[in-house]
Every structure is written in structure tokens, then in C-alpha cells.
Amino acid sequence: MPRASNTAVVTDGDERILMLWRHRFIPDAWGWEVPAGWSDPGEDPEQAIRREIEEETGWRPGRVERMTAYNALSGISTMRFTGFHATDSRYIGPPTDPSEASRVEWLPIGKVAELAATGAISDGPSLTAIAYYLGIHRPRHGGNQRD
């Protein structure tokens, strides 16, 4: 895999996650995903995910925080993924790349967890970013503080 990839869990307070309903041609399947995309050569991953969120959703994130980075396929590839959490987004207009998704929706966090559990989110980077956000990142930054 030639370039690093980035994903973002975009939240609206502690209530909703911005999701895309899209078709993936290789597995010929529809599913929900978080915004994601490649970093261009020399591009900072945070700048890349800001660009991708805007292009794919029409929302401009305010704060973007790195959650985690990982090697997706350590045994066969050097591809690197970085997962971000974006907040304080404002709507700037329709997505500039309408081919990215059939729908862009704010879904309740509980519904997103249900979609992941039932297989409606089957994209690996999306599942990883959502699971990391819900299980590790959100408890530190949201209303459910851990000791």
C-alpha cells in the first residue's frame, strides 16, 4: 500500500457520529463508514483528514485530535492508519465529492454501536476508529469518566 490512510470519528457533542452510507465496489457491498482517505505525499495526516472530512461530508471540523495510529496489515504491508477524533464541526455545504457517499448522516452513538454489532459497518478502518473511540477515547473525553 503506497500511502498512509486516515480515519475520523466526527462527533456532535457526546450524542452523534457523522457517518457515510456508501457502496464499495471490490466486495460489492453497501455499508456505513466514517470519513477516511489517503494522505498525499508529504501531507500531514491531520491536514489530510480535515480535507477528507470536508470533501466527503460537507462539514468542516474545528478541533481534530489524534486518537491512535496502527499498522493495518503488519505481516504483509507497511501501510499505516491514523485515527482521529473531530469535534466542533460546522456545515459548509454539500460534499464536494458526491461520489464518496449516497448519504451523509448524523447517527446517535447507540445506533452506531448497534450497526457495528450487526455487521452494517464492515469497513476495517471504520470499525477500528469507532471501537477505539467508544472503548478508549470517549471515556476520557466524554461524560463517562473512568478512574
pLDDT tens, position by position, 20-62: 999 889 989 899 999 999 999 899 999 999 999 999 999 999 9
Residue 20 CA, chain-centre distance (Å), reads 9
Q: What grid cell was written down for 147?
A: 478512574
Q: Locate 127 and state its grid cell.
A: 470499525
Mean pLDDT of the chain: 89
Instruction: Give, in order, the Cα–Cα distances in Å from 89 to each of 24, 92, 124, 133.
Output: 26, 9, 24, 17
Provide the pLDDT for residue 79.
82
Statement: residue 3 has pLDDT above 80: no
107-119: average pLDDT: 95
What value does the mean pLDDT take over residues 65-75? 88
At 145 the pLDDT is 41
pLDDT band for position 147 (cuts 50, 70, 90): very low
Cell digits for 51? Answer: 480535507
How many other CB atoms are found less than 10 A from the CB of residue 80? Answer: 16
Query: At 123, phi and psi to the nearest 5?
Result: -75, 125
Lowest mean pLDDT among 14-23, 26-35, 60-69, 134-143: 134-143
- Going along the chain, which residue ranges are E strands? 5-12, 16-24, 29-33, 36-38, 59-60, 63-71, 80-87, 90-91, 103-108
136 has a pLDDT exceeding 50: yes
Q: How far apart are CA 21 and CA 116, in angstroms?
A: 13
H helices of the chain, in order, are: 45-57, 109-117, 124-132, 138-141
What confidence category does residue 144 fall into, taking pLDDT thresholds of 50, 70 and 90?
very low
